[in-house]
């Protein structure tokens, strides 16, 4: 039980760091005077770095047979680089430190999620009972970061980031060693993994649904500021979004049904569509903040169903590979498309057109998810 409690604490702190990076890097870059296209360029290039970093650190983790040692190394470098990133205003240095943080911070996600599911399974508790603390950490950090920037300035993020990073390192140090199971992630293993048509189509569905979500993650803060909102309001928006996930993750044992994952993903995509379509027509930043409560019916539903689908349909020895591929699609590949294309659309046509575009992509995700459920979902029941 001590392991699960430490893992809950680690989830809280790591996702706090993730909130400061994913949600507030675009805001920090906006404060530094960068254009939407420049912000998209930095975050999109970070997606390419993630594509390399996550499999690389996954293989190192498999090689050392210990996720704990790898997590500690990644946390140490992430804390230092995060401090340097939020201390600088130089465009070239912003690019350099952002790329390095993508390299060290983002690979922690699939390692943590794999630990969450493995420990939950071995302890006889639900995945959501652990992952809930990640959502809580993301929510608290989002609210805190917005106020910190407002009262102490954008560069104060440097001290907040390194402080939380240090505490995360201490918690990680206390966690018992958890050996990694499964085969290393190699090119040949990835080819074998995606050779199954059903798996390939499922990953395509994840990719389609992830692009709108990642575009919103990247440009929501910029859009709120464009509508006249403050950084405090940005923090409140991400607090409401992440806070609404808590109950959904905690109750996943109640609402999640085996064999219904594709239908569940389609359900989440419907609410992604409504959320982004409504966002396009809102002109009051406060109303846009309140709309983020719909996060409870989108990301936690979508992500929990995706993970359960993978762990239910792929062989045990390929679970680690599946988790890495899922993380690559959500944070890497889709992030590249979302940032480059989203930045170009936002810079050229504005926020309203961006949100109309991603609502259309979400609607296509609904149709594709229902098609896959009709073909594969019923048979999987």
For 276, counting Cβ atoms within 10 Å of its Cβ (0-12 exposed, 13-18 middle, 19+ buried), the class is buried
List the domain range (segments joined by +) for residue 220.
2-380
- Rounded to whole angstroms, the Cα distance separating 19 from 322 reads 24
Q: What is the CATH number of the domain that holds 150?
A: 1.20.1250.20
Q: Please give the residue that has the higher pLDDT: either 311 or 367.
A: 367
Q: Can you give the pLDDT at residue 380? A: 46
Q: pLDDT tens, 164-197?
A: 999 999 998 887 665 455 455 555 655 666 677 8
CA–CA separation, 101 and 18 (whole Å)? 11
CB neighbour list of residue 153: distance below 8 Å, 6 or more residues apart? none
Per-residue pLDDT of 18-72, as tens digits, reads: 999 988 999 999 999 999 889 989 988 988 898 888 888 877 876 776 677 888 9
pTM: 0.79
Per the structure, the count of domains in the chain is: 1
**What's the pLDDT score for residue 381?**
44
pLDDT, one tens digit per residue, over 203-218 is: 899 999 999 998 998 8
Q: How confident is the model over 304-363, as pLDDT tens digits?
A: 888 888 877 766 656 666 667 777 777 778 888 888 899 899 989 999 999 999 999 999
**Tens-place pLDDT, residues 284-302:** 999 999 999 999 999 888 9
pLDDT value of residue 187: 55
């Amino acid at each position: 039980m001590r392991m699960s409690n430490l893992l809950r604490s680690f989830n809280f702190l790591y996702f706090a760091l993730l909130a400061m990076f994913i949600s507030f890097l675009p805001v920090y870059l906006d404060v530094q005077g960068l254009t939407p296209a420049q912000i998209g360029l930095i975050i999109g290039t970070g997606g390419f770095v993630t594509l390399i970093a996550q499999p690389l650190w996954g293989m190192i983790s498999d090689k050392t047979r210990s996720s704990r040692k790898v997590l500690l190394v990644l946390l140490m470098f992430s804390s230092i680089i995060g401090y340097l990133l939020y201390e600088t205003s130089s465009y070239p240095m912003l690019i350099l430190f952002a790329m390095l943080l993508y390299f060290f911070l983002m690979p922690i996600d699939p390692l943590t999620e794999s630990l969450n599911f493995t420990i939950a399974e071995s302890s006889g508790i639900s995945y959501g009972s652990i992952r809930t603390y990640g959502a809580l950490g993301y929510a608290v950090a989002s609210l805190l970061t917005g106020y910190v920037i407002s009262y102490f300035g954008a560069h104060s993020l440097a001290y907040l980031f390194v402080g939380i990073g240090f505490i995360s390192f201490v918690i990680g140090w206390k966690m018992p060693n958890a050996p990694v199971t499964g085969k290393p992630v190699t090119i040949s293993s990835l080819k074998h993994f995606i050779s199954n048509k059903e798996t390939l189509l499922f990953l395509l569905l994840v990719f389609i649904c992830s692009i709108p979500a990642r575009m919103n993650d990247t440009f929501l803060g910029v859009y709120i500021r464009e509508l006249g909102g403050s950084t405090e309001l940005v923090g409140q928006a991400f607090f409401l979004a992440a806070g609404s996930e808590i109950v959904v993750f905690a109750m996943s044992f109640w609402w999640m049904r085996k064999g219904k994952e594709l239908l569940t993903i389609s359900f989440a995509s419907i609410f992604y569509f409504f959320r982004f379509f409504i966002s396009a027509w809102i002109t009051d930043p406060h109303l846009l903040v309140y709309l983020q409560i719909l996060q409870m019916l989108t990301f936690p539903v979508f992500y929990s169903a995706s993970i359960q689908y993978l762990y239910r349909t792929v062989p045990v020895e390929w679970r680690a590979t599946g988790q890495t591929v899922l993380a690559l699609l959500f944070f890497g590949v889709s992030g590249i498309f979302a940032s480059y294309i989203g930045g170009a659309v936002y810079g050229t046509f504005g926020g309203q057109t961006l949100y109309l575009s991603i609502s259309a992509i979400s609607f296509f995700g609904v149709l594709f998810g229902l098609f896959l459920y009709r073909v594969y979902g019923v048979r999987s029941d």
